[in-house]
Chain A
Amino acid sequence: MSEQEYRHIPATGLAGQTGASAGLITCDICEALCCTHDEAATHCPICGATLHLRHKDSLTKSLAYLVAATILYIPANLLPVMQTNTIFGTQDDTIMSGVLVLMYTGSWPLALLVFFASIVVPLLKLFSISLLLYTCSKKSTWNPLQRTQLFRMIEAVGRWSMLDVYVVTVLVALVQFKSLAAIHPGGGALAFGAVVVLTMLSAQSFDSRLIWVAKTHE
């Protein structure tokens, strides 16, 4: 379904208002509409989750996870993710060399896929979240729609970076033929897994409603 086929619905009565100014909150968990006029209403009447007008300390938490992820991104790419011991010798593979091996052994579409999931997506996430955090802390009015779409995209593709961790897991489990051939995991895989989890947590703590804050206060 293309974007045009969705029906765009204008709000009547409360047109143009935000939930915050109208006294309404959408529950973070179950997306149900809740009222804030009642002082006691701190929990969603449907699922019982704690209600937040905005995620608490969203930018700070998101930044903390992002800094940790950025630091770990360096060992994730420099340290080997796996070590192959064969009768011909020992070979260390990093994320990038894994992609190159896949390309030279003839399956370039798969190499492209792994390149995208393991190299492009993590970098894109680190840059995009930094951009979003910077513009939101400045309450920028620059292209809120595109920034929201960027956030939606990184939330959707972020998990796919786990691909390399699973490849290493399967290879380590299968290739264990004593002296003939054996694969062992390397420190890079641990750092890489940590980068994926930390960037996911960073995106989860970011509150996309903050992108629109400056616009509504004008």
Chain B
Amino acid sequence: MPYFLDFYLTLHHNVKPAIKPAHHFIVCHECDLVCADVPVATGEAASCPRCRAILYRNGTASVDVALALAITSVILLLLLNCFPLLSLKVQQVTRDTTLFHAALAMWDDGMHILSLLVIITTMLAPTLQISVAVYLLYVIRFGDAGLALGAPLRALQTLRPWSMVEIFMLGLLVSLVKLQHMADIVIGPALWSCASLIFFTAALTSVLTPRNIWLWANAAKASKAATGVSHV
């Protein structure tokens, strides 16, 4: 994940001190070695001494930043789905396509499974992923933080590898090059929102790690118990 984005966000926001984890140990998720769970400086990450897996990064990004990124992603996702991606003009005939119509064209050509695969990876998974992220961050920030853990957290982690907007964007660029000899191309609004969406979802993914989520949720629960007001 684009680490520089996380780093940039931590630099440019008034960040509260890192929240202390509950245990002194962490078990490497890749090689099962027991490691010490120690605080690391801003911009640093702790890695497993045996297999070099990154165990965690400095958890200083705030819930507010993550929520802002998630809401921006929702808007961009709506734009991506509502407007045409590309238009093609061949001898006075113009043809444009939205994301959904591209998948439907596959269905009409008899490729039902492939059409479903495209719908799941470019529409269903990203939409679910971003809406779950908004719900999860909303309840941590304004509601009962306990609701964020459990099913929403599990869904987020399961959906993550199947959301492929960034790969679709690259596919669009390759098709653009393949089509440029064939006809006049007009780039639609959805292509621009797709391009910006991949930056925002990448930033969101790098901030919305499971470790951050349960640290935020624990802190929200603790401050709510202490003051009666939920603030992270």
Contact surface of A with B, Cβ cutoff 8 Å: 1, 3, 5-12, 14-20, 22, 24-26, 28-33, 46-49, 101-102, 105, 107, 110, 113-114, 117, 144-145, 148-149, 152, 159-160, 162-167, 169-177, 180-181, 184-185, 189-190, 193, 197, 200, 204, 208-209, 211-212
Contact B29 A176 (CB under 8 A): no
Q: How far is the CA of A25 from the CA of B32 in the complex (A)?
A: 8
Q: Which residues of B are at the interface with A, using a C-beta cutoff of 8 A?
A: 3, 23, 25-38, 40, 43-47, 49-55, 85-86, 88, 90-91, 93, 95-97, 101-106, 109, 111, 113-114, 117-118, 121-122, 149-151, 153-154, 157-158, 161, 164, 167-168, 170-175, 177-179, 181-182, 209-211, 213-214
Which chain A positions have C-beta within 8 A of B47?
A: 3, 6-9
Give the residues in chain A near B182, CB-CB below 8 Å: 175, 181
Residues from chain B with Cβ under 8 Å of A20 in the complex: 32
Known: A7-B46, A19-B27, A166-B168. A30 touches B90 (CB 8 A): no
Additional A-B contacts beyond A26-B29, A190-B113 (20; CB < 8 A): A1-B3, A6-B44, A6-B54, A9-B49, A24-B25, A26-B32, A30-B157, A30-B210, A32-B211, A102-B174, A117-B170, A162-B121, A162-B171, A165-B114, A171-B178, A173-B97, A174-B175, A175-B182, A176-B105, A208-B31
Distance of A117 Cα from B30 Cα, bound (Å): 25
Known: A48-B151, A145-B52. A169 touches B118 (CB 8 A): yes
Bound Cα distance from A159 to B171, whole angstroms: 13
Interchain residue pairs with CB less than 8 A apart (22): A6-B46, A8-B47, A10-B36, A19-B34, A24-B25, A26-B32, A30-B153, A31-B209, A31-B210, A48-B154, A102-B174, A114-B174, A117-B170, A149-B52, A152-B53, A167-B171, A169-B102, A173-B105, A175-B88, A189-B114, A209-B30, A209-B32
